[in-house]
Amino acid sequence: MGNELIEIEYRKKFSVTEQLDIVFKYKRRIGVIFLVLATAVSISAYLLTPVYEAQSTLLVKMGREYMSRPEVGDKTPMLALNQDAIVNTELQILSSRELLEKVVTTMKVENLYPDIARNPPSDMSPVNAALLRFEKGISASRIPGSNVIQVTFRHKSPEIASKALNLLVSLFRVRHLQVYSDPQSSFLDQQLQDYKQKLTDSQNALERFKQSNRVYSINEQRTLLLKQQMDLDTALKSSNNGIYELQNKVLTLRSQIKSVSAADAHSGAPETTSVISDAKAKLLTLQLNEQDLLKKYTESNRYVVNARKEIQLVDDFIKEQEREAAVRAKTGNPLYQDLRRDLLRSEADLAALTARAASLRNQLASVGSEMRTINMTEQQLENLKREKAVNEKNFEVYQDRAEESRILDEMNRLKLTNVSVIQPADVPLVPVKPNRLKIVLVGLLCGAAIAVGSAFLTERISRKYNTPDRVEELLGVPVLISIPYHKG
């Protein structure tokens, strides 16, 4: 076991020695190959066309473009997007094909990419080919943890790189204003004029209504009418109570007078005067005469008619004389006279109270009508006031929005945006590629590896036996002695 380890270590040491022998054996070849490859790589590195990178940084501020402004209602603007969404949106605008194409067309293909202008591709237009190359050369990214956008552009010419990038940033700011602008000035002005006219019409309608209905203070008028209604209602109730009492009193007095008259009639008939007796005798004679005339003539005969008229006259005279006699008999009764006077006063008071109650009812009806009229007037007045208030509010809202829109239009005209250029693109002095030192170092390493590898490959495919181990490995017999060879 120990002998085997010694043999393995010996073979490893010999293998390293063998490899060094190979390197030294082919040192000239290795040197030539290394020098050729290193020279070729170095010359190629210095012959490569340099590419310059222009760089610009932009700051995206949270400002007016990202505010959501309602049309009507809440006047407080709100931030429509969050910070990440805003920056991502700006990156999309910055890298939009339309914006890049505008840069290409502005600078012209022959200035931006002369080789494409000289030899345009057959499958597309020179502008499209230049646009594709421009898209590959442009790069825009957000610096993590900030609102800063870094834009770079690579080109063979440092002047064109900086010029194209600055033009892109300038067009981007203009495009930014176009995207976020709200061209509503004319619309808002028209709406403002419409609501101004509506407000004027509603104000005039309100004034005309007040003047035509003599409306000055609805609440004061209602208060006065309510007080008047309460007073009239109280007076009417008092009058109705008085009428009820007087009606009962009149009925009582009439009943008492009737009782007194009946008592006087039972106490003795009024004295019959000679006039009444004569008149009754005359009436009897005329009635007998009428009977005799009816025997001779018809009822339509003038003699019969005249006789009946005389009978009626005498009968009326007798009744009148009897009434006067009865009155003369009653006037002598003090109780009857008192009752009669009370009855007359009560009837007069009852008639006055009845008339007053009728007047109060008419006044209450008039006050009620005025109250209904005031209620209807108040409703119409409130509708007019509400219409005026709505028009006034809309006018104020559109006035504020129109003024704000005019300010925004002026700010857009002056190109005042919330995207600021922190660092414009300067003309780069050092190319970003090729990295000649890196290429040369890689070329040297690759040349050395290829040169050494070629030496080992040559040794591997060679039929010569240069070491005793190689002979033992190939022939399978031990080597007894080896003699080094030296050229004489």
* Tokens standing for residue 384: 């007019």
pLDDT above 70 (res 4): no
Length of the chain: 488
Q: Is the pLDDT of residue 145 over 70?
A: yes
* pLDDT band for position 280 (cuts 50, 70, 90): confident
**Residues 226-241, mean pLDDT to the nearest whole number:** 88
Residue range(s) of every CATH 1.10.287 domain in the chain: 218-389
Position 241 pLDDT exceeds 80:
yes
Contact present, 52 and 155 (Cβ < 8 Å): yes
Residue 69 has pLDDT above 60, yes or no: no
So what's the pLDDT on residue 329?
A: 56
Question: Tokens for 482?
Answer: 């080896």
Report, as an integer, the average pLDDT of 260-269. Answer: 55
Residue 326 — very low, low, confident or very high, per pLDDT cuts 50/70/90?
Answer: low
Min mean pLDDT across 76-80, 87-91, 218-222 is at: 76-80
CB 322 within 8 A of CB 276: yes
Q: For CATH 3.30.1890, list the domain ranges present in the chain.
A: 52-180
At residue 59 the predicted structure's pLDDT band, cuts being 50, 70 and 90, is confident
* pLDDT higher at 297 or 237: 237
Please write the tens of the pLDDT for every residue from 92-135: 888 888 889 999 999 998 988 888 888 888 888 888 999 998 89
pLDDT of residue 290 exceeding 70: yes
**Which of 204-218, 286-300, 421-435 has the lowest average pLDDT?**
204-218
More reliable by pLDDT, 106 or 24: 106
Residue with tokens 């007069």: 348
* Burial of 323 (C-beta count, 10 Å sphere; 0-12/13-18/19+): exposed
Element (H, E) at 59: strand 52-60
pLDDT band at residue 272, thresholds of 50, 70 and 90?
Answer: very low
Q: Does the domain spanning 218-389 belong to CATH 1.10.540?
A: no
Two tokens, residue 103: 């840069």
CATH code: domain 52-180 is: 3.30.1890
Q: What's the rounded Cα separation, in Å, for the pair 308 and 314?
A: 10
Label residue 64 left, alpha or beta by phi (over 0 means left) and psi (-120 to 50 means alpha).
Answer: alpha
Buried b (16+ CB within 10 A) or exposed e, 387-424: bbeebeebbebbeebbebbeebeeebeeeebbbebeee
pLDDT band at 163 (very low <50, low <70, confident <90, very high): very high
* H/E run at residue 235: helix 218-267
Give backbone dihedrals phi and psi of 240, rounded to 5 degrees, phi first. Answer: -65, -40
The pLDDT of residue 68: 55
- Tell me the C-alpha distance between 131 and 112, whole Å: 10
Helix (H) or strand (E) holding 473: helix 468-475
Q: What is the pLDDT, as a whole number, of residue 152?
A: 92
Burial of 451 per CB tally in 10 Å (0-12, 13-18, 19+): buried
